[in-house]
């Protein structure tokens, strides 16, 4: 492929610099003391981390992907966490969002599903390409993680100012009949820039 230098220069001015700026804002707009902590679990079955993301961090990311304002506004209404999971077993580990329980004050909070987001995008008339990109940034609802395989992505909930816990169970084995493993994260909070 021949690279058109003039075109590269145009692209640099139009996209790279705004991206750099948005990346800088995402990295520095929240004082270090206010940054919500990442929680991690690392044992012989799995490695898992969950990191609260602020509305500004999410907005900066999707603005960098050229998302339109109505889509950005929708992301600001939700509470995002970036989740990473690595299977440490020599067997299949099943990630199934239906086996995750977010609980606050004894009540369960339902995470926003991919179907929920699709409905939001359709109501707001968001272009298919943005719907597609957004979906790829979400943690899959279901995945048979092979030995050593890792996956990452965002999970979202309706925004709340309460703390909550996450109890996540994982089935194992090709037919899900192996030993079940459960991990728990406590004192999770939506990341609030005003903290």
Partner 1 sequence: MKHFIFSLVIWLVTLNVYAGTPSLPKGVLKIAPRPAPALSLKNLDEETFSLDNKTGRWAFVHFWASWCGPCRREMPSIQTLVKQSSSLKLDFFIVNTAESEDVVFSFIGSVAPEVNTLLDLDGLVTEKWHPRGLPSTYLVDTDGYIRYIVLGGQNWHHPDYTHFLHKLGQNNP
Q: Which two three-digit tokens encode residue 112?
A: 């926003």
DSSP state of 140: P
Secondary structure (3-state) at 50? strand
If the CB atoms of residues 14 and 38 are measured against partner 1, the closer one turns out to be: 14
Least spacing, CB of residue 143 vs partner 1, in Å: 7
Least spacing, CB of residue 92 vs partner 1, in Å: 12
Binding site for partner 1 (CB under 8 A): 1, 3, 7-8, 11-12, 14-16, 61, 64-66, 127-133, 135-137, 140, 143, 146, 149-153
Least spacing, CB of residue 141 vs partner 1, in Å: 13
If the CB atoms of residues 19 and 41 are measured against partner 1, the closer one turns out to be: 19
- 89 vs 61: CA distance, rounded Å: 33
Least spacing, CB of residue 164 vs partner 1, in Å: 26
Closest CA to 153 of 162, 164, 168, 143: 143
If the CB atoms of residues 24 and 159 are measured against partner 1, the closer one turns out to be: 24
Least spacing, CB of residue 103 vs partner 1, in Å: 28
Q: Write the DSSP string, 157-186.
A: EE--SS-EEEEEEEEESTTS-S--EEEEEE
Evaluate whether 149 touches 87 at the Cβ level (below 8 Å): yes
If the CB atoms of residues 130 and 181 are measured against partner 1, the closer one turns out to be: 130
Secondary structure (3-state) at 120? helix
- 183 vs 19: CA distance, rounded Å: 37
If the CB atoms of residues 107 and 136 are measured against partner 1, the closer one turns out to be: 136
- 120 vs 122: CA distance, rounded Å: 6
Least spacing, CB of residue 8 vs partner 1, in Å: 5
- 190 vs 87: CA distance, rounded Å: 26
If the CB atoms of residues 15 and 24 are measured against partner 1, the closer one turns out to be: 15
């Amino acid at each position: 492929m021949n690279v058109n230098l003039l075109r590269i220069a145009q692209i640099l001015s139009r996209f790279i610099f705004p991206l750099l700026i948005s990346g800088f804002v995402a990295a520095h707009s929240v004082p270090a003391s206010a940054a919500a902590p990442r929680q991690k679990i690392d044992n012989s079955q799995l490695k898992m981390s969950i990191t609260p993301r602020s509305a500004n961090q999410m907005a900066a990311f999707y603005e960098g992907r050229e998302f339109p304002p109505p889509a950005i506004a929708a992301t600001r209404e939700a509470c995002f966490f970036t989740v990473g999971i690595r299977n440490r077993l020599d067997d299949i580990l099943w990630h199934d969002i239906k086996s995750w329980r977010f609980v606050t004050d004894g009540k369960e909070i339902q995470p926003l599903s991919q179907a929920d987001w699709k409905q939001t995008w359709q109501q707001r008339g968001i272009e298919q390409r943005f719907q597609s990109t957004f979906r790829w940034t979400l943690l899959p609802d279901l995945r048979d993680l092979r030995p050593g395989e890792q996956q990452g992505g965002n999970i979202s909930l309706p925004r709340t100012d309460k703390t909550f816990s996450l109890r996540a169970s994982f089935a194992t084995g090709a037919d899900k009949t192996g030993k079940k493993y459960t991990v728990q994260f406590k004192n999770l909070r939506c990341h609030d820039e005003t903290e």
